[in-house]
Structure 1
Amino acid sequence: MATAYLRTLIGDEGLTPTSSAGLTFPFGDRGPQPGELLSLMDGIRWWRVPMSGPLKHVNGLILDDGPDLLAIDTGTASPRCTEAWRTILDGPLAGDRIGRILCTHMHPDHVGLAGWLSRKFDDAAIVMTRTEWLMVRMLSADAQPEVPEEQIAFWQGAGWDEEQMAHGKARGWSSFGKAISRMPVCYTRIQDGDVMRIGGSDWHVVTGSGHSPEHACLVDYDRRVLVAGDQVLPKISSNVSMHVSQTNEDPLGDWLRSIERFKQLPDDLLVLPGHGDPFYGLHTRLDALRDEHLDRLDAIVDLMAAGPVSATDCFKVLFRRPIGLDVIGMATGEALAHLRRLELEGRAVREERDGVWWFARV
């Protein structure tokens, strides 16, 4: 699940680019260079962990934490990310100790090197929400030689053709464990409403859902900062997908409800996203993310005027780029998440014929 996300969220534009109009980028194009830590304010430094593919990087943060440091998000367990970490540990962080590693959520670009980094610093604590931690543990252990029948039925239900099915079967099942380093058995749990003392500051835990099940964000109300991870990105809409294990759930509904929760936060926070540049304009961005999905729901309903549709039929109104085999998994998950939302809203009904799910307008 998360590996497919990492493999297919390609390009600075992502699969679903959205307007960043109305946002202010206080650092402009002055992002940290390779091996550099850029000071955002006292006790908060930003760096970019390089990644393969056009997505290029995930943002890492280093926070002063008393005598030690706290690292937020790590990059994948890949030679490129590992070498980048060695460069800053031997360079600007030489002589410092990382005492805690906080991972905002379960995806390999955010949790991939957490285990490696923990062992490097004598079992430094890994800090996560419970659901994200359990998902990492489960997916890293879920290695099967063949694609399960349930997954094949899921692809068939979405309307995949023979070429797409052959590609999915050839790609195999969960390779999540290959994208992360071995995780320790123990972790430190955080949950919504907790207050973490990091250095001399109080950081309030606020969780969101939809992109991942229990994504952790941190707010420092005194210094007006939000560590947003992938919950609020400045230029792309985070992937919100239905997966084979959650066909009766409502990931897009979770995402939209999370947007309304985050709109209760102050609008003047400096947002530190998991990808892209720090920005101001939290409420403007949340509105744009919400409106993007609401418009896409309406577009699917309009498409249904000509008759029932499958998930793959919806690609042409959901996405602004051709959907090839490289992004078919994520596109399918997004389409099904939207169709499920319409079903729950009473705007569409689902019928299965010959193993394919057909959605018709009510």
Structure 2
Amino acid sequence: MADGSTRTTVAKDARGLTYPLDVVPAPGEAIEVARGFFWLRFALPFQLDHVNIYAIRDGDGWVVVDTGLKTSATIAAWETALDGALGGRPVTRLICTHMHPDHIGLAGWLCERTGAPLLMSQIEYITGRMLMAEQAGDAPADGEVFYRAAGWDEAQIERWRADYGGFAKGVSPMPRSYRRLSEGDALSIDGDDWTVVIGSGHSPEHVCLWRRSDDVFIAGDQILPRISSNVSVWSTEPDADPLGDWMDSLAKLRALLPEGLFVLPAHGEPFYGVHARLDALKRGHETALKRLERTLRQPSRVVDGFPAVFGRAVGDGVLGMATGEAQAHLNYLERRGRATRTRDENGIDWWTAVEQDEETT
């Protein structure tokens, strides 16, 4: 377990962010980044190759935030951390920011291993439990309709069918009960109050935690320093507007959080510069929407919007997430009267921009 001596100020990057730490924790190790607050990092077997975990000293034990994916390597790293970096002290509570597998993957295992209760927001817990119930090979017909409408070909739909039900592969069975976290709740941890701040868009009811006494903020995936969180529409709610939720959350956080905040993200490194980052995230989506409207001057499918939304071509390895995010941008435009769609006889949606009067642009 390292102490606070690793904190050093470095120059701002091109985004206006400052990263005060010049090291990252090895798997199973922990670095103290604020008073009584420790940073761990576990590997992910994806292009995004890590997730950050946080442990907050709580009397003689720890409050842990997020768990990593259910893999043998992550379990081994947790065993090393619990007995080593965390000093064999008990875990008093487990908080999961949201229900994505890299955040709740070992929630059931860790709660059973330590006896700690699970704390989550209601929608995230229920959604996670729902997704755990999906069976491999039981791809719903509604999903086929959704992806065909987006412009997928038959081979892509067949691969989706074959891979369906993969959520439970990365998540241990979740606890059958939990303690609910809601906006504005105050959690007492080692004598400090941590305020629950809820975000939305990346996931429906994402929990962030703010220690106001020294402005330490556990951001999860709600504010990442170098990448933008995926904001997607899925076949379970094809007309949803998660990008609208996301933009509203960015505005809410911009108004709520002080510029001097120390942000602890789920991916990347802890940083200062929260206002600059929130502004950049907002600009990024606004730019993508403008590019997409230009694309829609000609009737286009969801998959035709990838270059506008992402600024590059997209491979089949991330086709589902790319489709979800492009769909989110199109639904956003449709909700605001800036695009329309028509479904053809083959079940494919064709999207077209709505010309805007000068007074409304």
Q: Normalising to structure 2: TM-score of the pair?
A: 0.92
Q: Which amino acid aligns with 1:27?
A: L
Distance 1:314 1:115 in 2: 39
Q: Is residue 137–residue 165 contact of structure 2 (8 Å, CA) maintained in 1?
A: no
Q: Which residue of 1 aligns with 2:92?
A: 99
**2:39 aligns to what SS in structure 1?**
strand
Q: Is residue 137–residue 161 contact of structure 2 (8 Å, CA) maintained in 1?
A: no
Q: Which residue of 1 aligns with 2:63?
A: 70
Q: Report how far residue 145 of structure 1 moved.
A: 2.6
Residue identity (%) = 44
Q: Which residue of 2 aligns with 1:326?
A: 317
Q: Report how far residue 194 of structure 1 moved.
A: 0.5
Q: Which residue of 1 aligns with 2:198?
A: 207
Q: Which residue of 1 aligns with 2:137?
A: 145
**2:20 aligns to what SS in structure 1?**
coil
Q: Report how far residue 92 of structure 1 moved.
A: 1.7
RMSD: 1.3
Q: Which amino acid aligns with 1:23?
A: L
Q: Which amino acid aligns with 1:25?
A: Y
Distance 1:127 1:309 in 2: 43
Q: Which amino acid aligns with 2:77?
A: A
Unpaired runs of at least 5, structure 1? 1-18
Distance 1:34 1:250 in 2: 37
Distance 1:268 1:245 in 2: 39
Q: Report how far residue 20 of structure 1 moved.
A: 5.8
Q: Aligned runs of 1:75-94 on 2, under 5 Å?
A: 75-94=68-87
Q: Which residue of 1 aligns with 2:16?
A: 22
Q: Is residue 20–residue 235 contact of structure 1 (8 Å, CA) maintained in 2?
A: no
Q: Is residue 42–residue 77 contact of structure 2 (8 Å, CA) maintained in 1?
A: yes
Distance 2:124 2:348 in 1: 31
**2:223 aligns to what SS in structure 1?**
coil
Q: Which amino acid aligns with 1:304?
A: L
Distance 1:215 1:275 in 2: 15
Q: Is residue 132–residue 167 contact of structure 2 (8 Å, CA) maintained in 1?
A: yes
Which of these residues, 174, 186, 194, is aligned with residue 195 of structure 1?
Answer: 186
Distance 1:183 1:224 in 2: 32
Moved more, 271-280 or 19-28: 19-28
Which of these residues, 260, 277, 293, is aligned with residue 285 of structure 1?
Answer: 277
Distance 2:310 2:74 in 1: 30
Distance 2:118 2:290 in 1: 42
Distance 2:269 2:136 in 1: 38
**1:263 aligns to what SS in structure 2?**
helix
Quick one: higher RCO (CA 8 Å, sep 6+), 1 or 2?
1
Q: Does 1:269 align with 2:256?
A: no
Distance 1:113 1:235 in 2: 26
Q: Does 1:346 align with 2:340?
A: no
Distance 1:114 1:156 in 2: 35
Q: Which amino acid aligns with 1:90?
A: D
Q: Which residue of 2 aligns with 1:10?
A: none
Moved more, 308-317 or 231-240: 308-317
Q: Which residue of 2 aligns with 1:127?
A: 119
Encode CA deviations 1:216-252: one digit per residue, 9 max, x unaligned: 0011111111100000000000000000111122000
Which contiguous aligned blocks of 4+ residues in structure 1 show a shift greater than 6 angstroms?
none
Q: Report how far residue 324 of structure 1 moved.
A: 1.5
Q: Which residue of 2 aligns with 1:182?
A: 173
Q: How many residues align?
A: 340
Moved more, 136-145 or 126-135: 136-145
Q: Which amino acid aligns with 2:130?
A: M
Q: Is residue 51–residue 80 contact of structure 1 (8 Å, CA) maintained in 2?
A: no
Q: Which residue of 2 aligns with 1:356?
A: 348
Q: Which residue of 2 aligns with 1:238?
A: 229
Q: Which residue of 2 aligns with 1:4?
A: none
Distance 1:175 1:167 in 2: 12
Q: Which amino acid aligns with 1:141?
A: A
**2:296 aligns to what SS in structure 1?**
helix
Q: Which amino acid aligns with 2:142?
A: E
Q: Is residue 306–residue 312 contact of structure 2 (8 Å, CA) maintained in 1?
A: no
Q: Is residue 23–residue 279 contact of structure 1 (8 Å, CA) maintained in 2?
A: yes
Q: Report how far residue 42 of structure 1 moved.
A: 1.7
